C-alpha cells in the first residue's frame, strides 16, 4: 500500500534554485559548526595555555574561566535560535521551489 508522492523529487533536485539552496544550507551549517566547535574548544585551550589570564577575577571570586564557561550555555541557545530562524527561511524557499514545480 505504498502511495506515490505527487512531487517528482528527482526533477526538483535538478533545479538550479534547489541546488543553490542546498549550497547555502551546507555553507551555513558547516560554518556554524566550525564556529561553535572553536568556541567550545577555546575554553580548555585557554585554560591549558593561558591559565593566569583565565584566573583573572572579574567579579568577586568569579574568574574569566567561569564567565567563559557560562557564556557557552548562552552561545548554544543563540546558535539554536539563529538556526531555527534561518531554517524557517529554507523551508519557505523549498516550498516555493516545490510549488513552482507544479
CA-CA distance, 50 to 65, in Å (whole number)? 10
CA-CA distance, 40 to 45, in Å (whole number)? 10
Residue scoring higher pLDDT (49 or 96): 49
Residue whose C-alpha cell reads 541546488 in the numeric block = 19
**Domain spans of the chain?**
21-101
For the cut 90, the answer to whether the pLDDT of residue 1 exceeds it is no
Per-residue model confidence as pLDDT tens digits over 21-37 = 999 999 999 999 999 99
Mean pLDDT of all residues belonging to the chain? 91
Q: Is the Cβ–Cβ distance between 39 and 69 less than 8 Å?
A: no
Cβ atoms within 10 Å, residue 83: 13
Q: Residue 99 phi/psi, 5° resolution?
A: -65, -35
Q: What is the mean pLDDT of residues 70-98?
A: 94
Amino acid at each position: 500500500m505504498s502511495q506515490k508522492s505527487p512531487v517528482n523529487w528527482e526533477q526538483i533536485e535538478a533545479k538550479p534554485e534547489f541546488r543553490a539552496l542546498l549550497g547555502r544550507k551546507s555553507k551555513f551549517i558547516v560554518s556554524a559548526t566550525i564556529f561553535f566547535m572553536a568556541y567550545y574548544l577555546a575554553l580548555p585551550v585557554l585554560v591549558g595555555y593561558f591559565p593566569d589570564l583565565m584566573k583573572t577575577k572579574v567579579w568577586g571570586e568569579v574568574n574569566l574561566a567561569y564567565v567563559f564557561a557560562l557564556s557557552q550555555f548562552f552561545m548554544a541557545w543563540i546558535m539554536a535560535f539563529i538556526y531555527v530562524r534561518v531554517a524557517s527561511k529554507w523551508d519557505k524557499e523549498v516550498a516555493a521551489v516545490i510549488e513552482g514545480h507544479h
